[in-house]
Chain A
C-alpha cells in the first residue's frame, strides 16, 4: 500500500512501487488529465508537481511519492472555477489539440510559484521541456506572461 496526497486529498493505492506514477494516476485513480506523450521524459505531457517541483510522471516510480504531495491539472481549479492560468490559456488561444496543455499548465504553475514576475525568457526556459506541435508556443508564452504578478 502506498499513501500520498493528490491535489490535497490523501490517497492509498495497492500498487507495485515500481509502477509509473503516470499509470497509477490515470488507471488506478482515474485521473486522466495527466497525459502520456512520449513516455521517455522528452515531451513533458505528463508533467505533474511533486512537493512543488515539476517532474515527468512517466519517470517516477509510484513508490517514490510515498508521503509526498502531488499536484495534477485537476488540482488547479478552485471551487469549480478555473485558475487564472487556465483562464489565460483559453483567453489567449493557447490550446489547440490539448494534449500538451495539462503539462504546460503545471510547468507554468511551478514557474510562477517560484518566480511570480518572470521574463519571456524565463517562460521559455520553464516550458522548454513541454513540447507543443500545434500552437507554435507564442500564444502559450503570452498566456503565461499574462498571469505575472508584477511588482508595483
Chain B
C-alpha cells in the first residue's frame, strides 16, 4: 500500500501554504478517526498534514471574558484544565464521556468539528454555549458551521485554530446516552441551558442541531411544551446503534430530566 506523503508544518502559515499547494491533502490531528480510515482504505489522500504539534493550535486560555481551547488540544487536557473546571466544567464532563483514556489523550475538538460526525460528543455543548470556531481566516459561529451530513463550511485549505466560548454565566447541563460508559458512540447526546434557552442534540439528525421549536417553548418557561415539541425538531434514523423510535423517546425523557432536575 503506498503511504501518503507526511507533511509536518511548524507554523499556521506553513500549514496554509502546504494545504493550498497539495491536492487531496488531509489534516491529521490526533488520528482517532483518520488513522482508521487510512488503514482501511476508506480515504486515500496524497498527503497528511500533521497539525498535532502546532503550538498555535494548542493551549487553553481565558482572554476577555471567554474561554479558548486550542483546536489540537486533546480532550485529556480539557479534562485536567483548571480553567475549564472553573469556567465551563460541563465541557470537562463531556470530554470524560469520549472514548477511553487512550482516545481522550489523542482526540481533539478541532478534529471532532472537522470530521463533522453527527455524533460528536462535545458539539451540543458548543451549540448550547454559542461557541465560535476560529479558523486561520475567520470566525464561524457554531450554528452556521455544519452544512449537511459530514460537511461543513470549511474551505478545503482552511484550518481550525481554536474554539472560543463566550462566558456569560449560563449553566449548561449535559447527558450522553450510549451502550456503555466507555468507548460508546452516542445514541443521543444533549446539552441544555434554560437561560438563554438552548436545547442542542447530537445523533438525532444528519448534523448536531438545536431544537428550535422546543427552545421557543423553553424561552416561555414551558418545560412540558419543550419536551412535547422536541420530538418534532429532530430527525433520527434507525441504524446499527439505535432506532429512530428509541432516540425520540430518550431525547424527550432526557430533556425532561435535564430541565426538571
In A50-102, the 8 Å CB interface with B consists of 53-56, 58-61, 63-64, 66
When chains A and B are docked, how far (Å) is the Cα of A20 from the Cα of B40?
Answer: 12
When chains A and B are docked, how far (Å) is the Cα of A128 from the Cα of B67?
Answer: 30
Cβ of A23 to closest chain B Cβ, rounded Å: 9
In A35-55, the 8 Å CB interface with B consists of 39-42, 44, 47, 53-55
* Contact in complex: A55, B39 (CB < 8 Å): no
- The residue in chain A whose Cβ has the minimal distance to the Cβ of B4 is A18
* Contact in complex: B103, A41 (CB < 8 Å): yes
Interface string of B84-107 (1 = CB under 8 A from A): 000000000000000111110110
Q: How many of chain B's residues touch chain A, expressed as a range? A: 20 to 34
- The residue in chain A whose Cβ has the minimal distance to the Cβ of B52 is A64
* Contact in complex: B31, A129 (CB < 8 Å): no
Q: Cβ of A125 < 8 Å from any Cβ of B?
A: yes
When chains A and B are docked, how far (Å) is the Cα of A126 from the Cα of B182?
Answer: 10
Q: Cβ of B59 < 8 Å from any Cβ of A?
A: no
* Contact in complex: A19, B183 (CB < 8 Å): no
- The residue in chain A whose Cβ has the minimal distance to the Cβ of B180 is A128
* Contact in complex: A60, B4 (CB < 8 Å): no
Q: List 15 A-B contacts (CB under 8 A).
A: A17-B50, A18-B4, A41-B99, A54-B101, A58-B36, A59-B35, A59-B36, A59-B106, A64-B28, A64-B31, A64-B52, A110-B101, A125-B182, A126-B101, A128-B101
6 nearest A-B residue pairs (beta carbon): A129-B100, A17-B6, A128-B182, A16-B3, A53-B105, A18-B3
